[in-house]
Amino acid sequence: MQPTKTHQSLEGFASIEPGDGGLERVAINSPLAQAHIHLHGAHVTHFQPRGQKPVLFLSRKSLFQTGKAIRGGVPLVFPWFGPNSSDPNLPAHGLARTTKWNLESISRDGDRAVVELSLESSDSTRNLWPHEFELHYRITVGSNLQIELTVRNASSNAWAFEEALHTYLAVADARKVAVAGLAGREYLDKVQGGRRLTEGSEPVTITGETDRVYLDTRDDIVVDDPAGARRLRVTKELSDDTVVWNPWIAKAKALADFADDEWPAMLCIESANIGKNAVNLSPGATHVMKTILSVE
Ligand code: TA6
């Protein structure tokens, strides 16, 4: 389906092109920023405000194949987070990120680009998850990146889902970053078997494999990246959990689609609703989770 165009020409502003691995992507090249959005997984793989270094990390070993997740950018996690609790053979982080989405529209809002995609339940999704849903994804590319995931229960029975915008921030050196916005919060430490701990008063630093779910956290997260001489801000709306992940040395080596030397160049700060904060949707109801990535 050809996306609708607004009154302003999209020439030179937005195009649809074959991306990595030949997967179709929307390329935005506006006065404010550049961005790439793959229809595969509705996956934002690149965002670079004018005059800035890229904001998102993308592994040079990432796969770009149907049915496979892209390593980097903003993986869209739905309807479960991590391994599926009832069937470990199901794909990690759900079905949305390895499914091709429909491109609904590309439009201009001044110098900002707005790209809208959708995904509905189908026979193939029902094989993985037996519920009727409609997803709508709105990506606004400007001097910041705004991502809005709307989930609608399209069935006659209530169901619960988990979600995350699994953002891979590009940092100059993860060993030197300081992450503010999580002081005093409780978290589940997956490196320690899911132990529940409480964060101290200081910003979080990365000194080893880090894989934590910070519970009931709604504040902005600010990643100070001194080696990159910038701060990256993650603003969240209707996201109750924040996941912080860096694989460090051993886990990086264990990931086939992640180069061994890439782990200092990334830090995942994920806007999420998982576990006890999974979202319950009654028939016909919707839930909108939003995240905004900005450079300071
Ligand atoms: O969000 C952190 C996490 O759940 C880690 O445990 C690690 O598995 C990471 O996601 C990457 O998962 P993926 O399925 O994309 O390799």
Give the active site residue among 162, 163, 262, 270.
270
Which ligand 1 atom minimizes the distance to the CA of 164? Answer: 1
Which ligand 1 atom minimizes the distance to the CA of 257? Answer: 16
Q: Specify whether 93 is catalytic.
A: no
Instruction: Say which residues have a Cβ less than 8 Å from residue 71's Cβ, sequence separation at least 6.
Output: 58, 59, 61, 62, 63, 168, 255, 257, 258
Give the active site residue among 43, 46, 166, 199.
166
CA distance 134 to 151: 6
Report the nearest-CA residue for atom 2 of ligand 1. Answer: 245
Distance (angstroms) between ligand 1 centre and the Cα of 170 equals: 16
Task: Indicate if ligand 1 lies below 6 Å from the C-beta of 269.
Answer: no
pTM: 0.97
CA distance 211 to 55: 21
Residue among 99, 105, 137, 138 nearest 121 (CA): 99
Task: Indicate if ligand 1 lies below 6 Å from the C-beta of 21.
Answer: no
Which ligand 1 atom minimizes the distance to the CA of 190? Answer: 6
CA distance 68 to 82: 15
Distance (angstroms) between ligand 1 centre and the Cα of 156 equals: 32
Task: Indicate if ligand 1 lies below 6 Å from the C-beta of 162.
Answer: no
Q: Please report, in tens digits, the pLDDT of each residue of the chain (296 residues total).
A: 455 444 456 888 999 999 999 999 999 999 999 999 999 999 999 999 999 999 999 999 999 999 999 999 999 999 999 999 999 999 999 999 999 999 999 999 999 999 999 999 999 999 999 999 999 999 999 999 999 999 999 999 999 999 999 999 999 999 999 999 999 999 999 999 999 999 999 999 999 999 999 999 999 999 999 999 999 999 999 999 999 999 999 999 999 999 999 999 999 999 999 999 999 999 999 999 999 999 99
Q: Specify whether 270 is catalytic.
A: yes
